[in-house]
Structure 1
Amino acid sequence: MPALLKRVGDAHPFHCAKRDIVQVVTSQSAPTYWANRTVVVTGGNGFLGSKVVARLRGFGANVVAPRSADADLTQLGVAEELFRTHRPSHVIHLAARVGGIGYNMVAPAQLYLDNMVMGLHTIEAARTCGVEKTVILGTVCSYPKFTPVPFREESIWDGYPEETNAPYGIAKKAMLVHAQVNEAQYGQQFAFVIPTNLYGPGDKFHESVSHVIPALIKKCVEAKERGDDKVSVWGTGAASRDYLYVEDAAEAIVLAAQLRTSAEPMNLGNNREVTIRETAETIARVVGFTGELVWDPSRPDGQPRRRVDASRAERELGWHAHTEFEEGLRATVDWYLANRAEAEAPPTH
């Protein structure tokens, strides 16, 4: 990180004394570490958050996962009251306003402001309320539009994000700066993780917020049911993504919350680059849609390429993704077919 962000001074008086958590916990199993700890998981009822909550509870943690209607993190006083009431040792901040390319294009200001403010308040409330460690979820959308593949953490500052992703990506990048300066000035402890494109059971399939995999699954399932012989797909199919199964991501986040004590970013990915064309063809095969995929180049591709270097997570956490892409797609399609009303529910924002 830039030299000016190197730590200065002692821990803030409200903050727990800075400890070498890695040294302390590497000899402990996860159940031993988490037993009887209180953890606040913002966004804990969502797609990723629900998996993180289930893992923590399985390890014996007391997990508080407030719904946004009950804890509006765009209000600083609400965040402070939440942390003062429950006195968590850890806060895992997963709450976010998100959407696919279409939503990014129609609501950029809302995406920027809400994510920026929620992150600001969560980090500051955690600092002043003495939270031992704060885990922040970044986004691969923060990387520059033309980042050398594979994306390495140090490249995040090398340019402007892809235009449709920029408002969300820059809000998340601001959280990284906030974590780094608080670490430097106050000794506040963080883990900052950057997952690549998530997918899996529990994803959002409503057309206003769905990402590429749920959007394509829904299109192919509906086309198959109607007997259509074509499905229209945005873009050229040439762009690529690095897909991470949601359970693999949840595993990494819980490990980072236990082991990681640095505001330097850490990538989480599958180390496999898949084109959108291959994605669509695989989904069509899994769903059983045998018609034609028709590409619409008038629609944006988004970022041209994505694959992250997740070697830092493997080296420091002993973690790597283990779910094969097609295996994860089959689980996602099965969940969607069994839970269509829930999957297609409109967003609450």
Structure 2
Amino acid sequence: MNIGSKIYVAGHRGMVGSAIIRRLKIDGYNNIINKTSAELDLRRQSEVEEFFEYEKPEYVFLAAAKVGGIVANNIYPAEFIYDNLMIETNIIHSAYKFEVKKLLFLGSSCIYPRRAEQPIKEEYLLGGYLEKTNEAYAIAKISGLKMCEYYNKQYGTDFISVMPTNLYGPNDNYDLQTSHVLPALIRKFYEAKFNKSKYVEIWGSGTPKREFLHVDDLTDACLFLMQNYSGSETVNIGVGNDISINELALLISDVVGFTGKIAYDRTKPDGTPRKLLDVSKLNNLGWKASIDLRTGIKMTYKDYISNLYV
């Protein structure tokens, strides 16, 4: 991939896609193409194929997806499986059909088995039952990973898959009904501070542990792999350490400056007990994360209050 290569970033308005474009521009890439959902419905095969035939991208970052936290996954499972299956199927097949040189598909660490041994190695995929609260999304994403693997095997394509851990950063989703835990907590603590509330209520027990990666680190890893890795084996992308939801809440509370109490609603689901990725494969390839969690949360909170996302 060189400066003049024609690069398509699917999902350019999302947190990951916008971060990839931001980084590509910083690095001097000047032939980036993207389309809004109003211009191109990625769930429609005919539209996607017409787009690829006309634009003929050389490299593709497949960051487009329907994503959300426990609430959204519980309420909209049909949308999560349908939208994600259609998006990835149409793009991956069109990338093959119109001879894209290389494609990077973004999976998600939440598609590993619920009771996977920790830290989670790439080969643990499909080694046990999925977490019920996001099963529809997980099945769709697993299909995308396998599609890349099988197209490489049958057609000789160069489609790689990465498995990011929980992400956060600029342009995140802060809607309390559809967001993930970290941006939801930023909003909750900000609003509690602003409204002078005495406490913040959090779903579950606070005991589950999660790993968090700043989206700028993810982008750096994706560009590194696009230039330095080929193969059908998925590559985990993470920081190599995790934190409990309770510890995360205390950290965000401190960064925001909220001085009230934290209350846990134990009638609500916790989700997967722990989810820490084994990142030794990526580290051995020559890449490590560089943004520590406190620094990343400070950066993200600054972005949040600058834009006041809802």
Provide the TM-score with structure 2 as the length reference: 0.97
- Please give the alpha-carbon distance, in whole angstroms, between the structure 1 residues aligned to 2:242 and 2:28: 36
User: 212-221 or 255-264, which moves further after superposition?
Assistant: 255-264
Q: Does 1:48 align with 2:16?
A: yes
Matched, 1:281 2:219: no
CA distance in 1, matches of 2:3, 2:26: 9
Describe the SS at the equivalent of 2:167: strand
1:304 maps to which of 262, 265, 273: 273
Determine if the alignment matches structure 1 residue 173 to structure 2 residue 168.
Answer: no
- Runs of 4+ residues over 4 Å off in structure 1: none
| 2:293 aligned partner | 325
CA RMSD of aligned residues (A): 1.0
- Structure 2 residue corresponding to 1:60, chosen from 18, 22, 28: 28
In the aligned structure 2, how far is the partner of 1:189 from the partner of 1:79? 20
Q: For 1:40, what is the secondary structure of its paired residue?
A: strand
Q: Please, which moves more after superposition, 242-251 or 72-81?
A: 72-81
Q: Of 208, 229, 249, which residue of structure 1 is paired with 2:218?
A: 249
* Alpha carbons 1:140, 1:169 under 8 Å: kept: no
One of 213, 216, 225 as aligned partner of 2:194: 225
Residue aligning to 1:200: 169
Residue 339 (structure 1) aligned with residue 303 (structure 2): no
Match for residue 137 of structure 1 among 102, 106, 109: 106
Partners of 1:160 and 1:264 in 2: how far apart?
21
Q: How many angstroms apart in 2 are the aligned matches of 1:80 and 1:165? A: 29
3-state DSSP class of the match of 1:294?
A: strand
Report the CA distance between 1:319 and its aligned residue: 1.1
Q: Which runs of 5+ in 1 are unaligned?
A: 1-32, 345-349
Residues 87-118 of structure 1, C-alpha deviations (whole Å, 9 max, x = no match): 11111100000111100110011001100111
1:111 aligns with 2:93: no
Q: Deviations over 1:243-269 (max 9, x none)?
A: 000100011111122222112110000
Please tell me whether the aligned partners of residues 90 and 257 of structure 1 are also in contact (alpha carbons under 8 angstroms). no
The residue number in structure 1 matching 2:97 is 128
Task: List per-residue Cα deviations over 1:134-188 (Å, max 9, x = no partner).
Answer: 1100011110000111010000120121111111111000111111111111101
Q: In the aligned structure 1, how far is the partner of 2:258 from the partner of 2:22?
A: 34
Which of residues 143, 163, 178 in structure 2 aligns to 1:209?
Answer: 178
The aligned residue for residue 43 of structure 2 is 74
Residue 100 of structure 1 contacts residue 211 of structure 1 at CA under 8 Å; is this kept in 2?
yes
- What is the CA deviation profile of residues 48-70 of structure 1, one whole-angstrom value per residue up to 9, with x for unaligned ones? 11111122223333111211221
Alpha-carbon distance in structure 2 between the residues aligned to 1:68 and 1:58? 25
- Paired with 2:194 and 2:27, the residues of 1 have a C-alpha distance of 42
Question: Structure 2: where are the runs of 5+ without partners?
Answer: none
Mapped partners of 1:217, 1:263: distance in 2? 37
Q: Taking every aligned residue pair, what percent have the same amino acid on both sides?
A: 37
**What is the aligned partner in structure 1 of residue 70 from structure 2?**
101
Corresponding residue for residue 290 of structure 1: 259
Separation in 1, partners of 2:170, 2:21 = 15
Residue type matched to 2:2 in 1? W
Comparing 142-151 with 68-77, greater Cα deviation is found at 68-77
Normalised by the length of structure 1, the TM-score is: 0.87
Letter in 1 for 2:268: R
Q: Work out which of the two has the higher radius of gyration on C-alpha atoms and give 1 or 2.
A: 1
Letter in 2 for 1:202: N
Classify the secondary structure of the residue corresponding to 1:301. Answer: coil
Q: In the alignment, residue 296 of structure 1 is paired with which amino acid?
A: D
Code of the residue aligned with 1:58 in structure 2: it is: I
Residue type matched to 2:287 in 1?
Answer: W
Distance in 2 of aligned mates of 1:217 and 1:54: 23
* Residues in 1 aligned to 2:282 and 2:57: alpha-carbon distance in whole angstroms: 25
Q: Please say if 1:239 is aligned against 2:208.
A: yes
